[in-house]
Amino acid sequence: MARFGNWLEERSGWNAVWETIFLRKIPKVNWFYTLGSATLFVALNQGITGILMSLYYVPSPDHAWNSVNYITNELAFGWLIRGLHHWGASAMVVLAVLHMLRVFLMGAYKYPREITWVTGLVLLLLTLGFGFTGYLLPWDQKAYWATTVGTRIAGVTPWIGDFLLRVMRGGEELSAVTLARFFGVHVWVLPALLILFVGVHLYLVIRNGISAPPKRSE
């Protein structure tokens, strides 16, 4: 095993990567500093459970609700998978907001971590986007009318409101195009952006380090 490790080290330099990520020195912190890691853990849960549900979900008005009902009530452990995904969505929003508040209140957004802060804001917006696009997918009355209201709010944006409304709905009203569009954004566009910005965010956290909690001046 040691010979294989040495062989791999000579060709990949994995020891340096391991030490940089897992053996780096960090200041003495408290439990509030785990909110970022907790958010990432929930994001992984969302990805895994989302992939599992996508194997059975059908993004069409005629079959969306039936497929969700099948996952919840008939598929083995489907209730658990959907429950983890449903409550994980709320937990991810709460944890992301708390993480951003912790960073702001402790001044961790200041030099040299300004770009880390900006990527974190983008990740928060992506998290909200996941919640908004995913809410429509069960295609029940609550999801339909909530999305109608949500898209109408975007539609009153000055100058570009009508354009945003048409882009989000795929037309004047919610339809099969809207459902397909929300599904595509939810499972393809947003996850791709999330992976990209999480990678950049983690790189910056490792590069710039974790800021120590502020000390009270005497």
> Exposed, middle or buried by CB within 10 Å (0-12, 13-18, 19+), for 115?
middle
| Residues 126 and 195: beta-carbon distance below 8 Å | no
* Section 18-28 average pLDDT: 79
Portion of the chain with pLDDT greater than 90, in percent: 81
In the prediction, which pLDDT does 47 show? 98
Question: Mind listing the domains of the chain with CATH numbers?
Answer: 30-208 (1.20.810.10)
Indicate the pTM of the whole model.
Answer: 0.93
| Residues 77 and 196: beta-carbon distance below 8 Å | no
In the prediction, which pLDDT does 2 show? 78
In the prediction, which pLDDT does 203 show? 94
Q: Shortest CA distance to 39 belongs to which of 6, 111, 88?
A: 88
Q: Shortest CA distance to 137 belongs to which of 41, 58, 35?
A: 58
In the prediction, which pLDDT does 16 show? 81
Per-residue pLDDT tens for 66-93? 999 999 999 999 999 999 999 999 999 9
Per-residue pLDDT tens for 97-156? 999 999 999 999 999 999 999 999 999 999 999 999 999 999 999 999 999 999 999 999
In the prediction, which pLDDT does 181 show? 97
Token digits for 77? 């452990």
Distance CA 37, CA 190 (A): 20
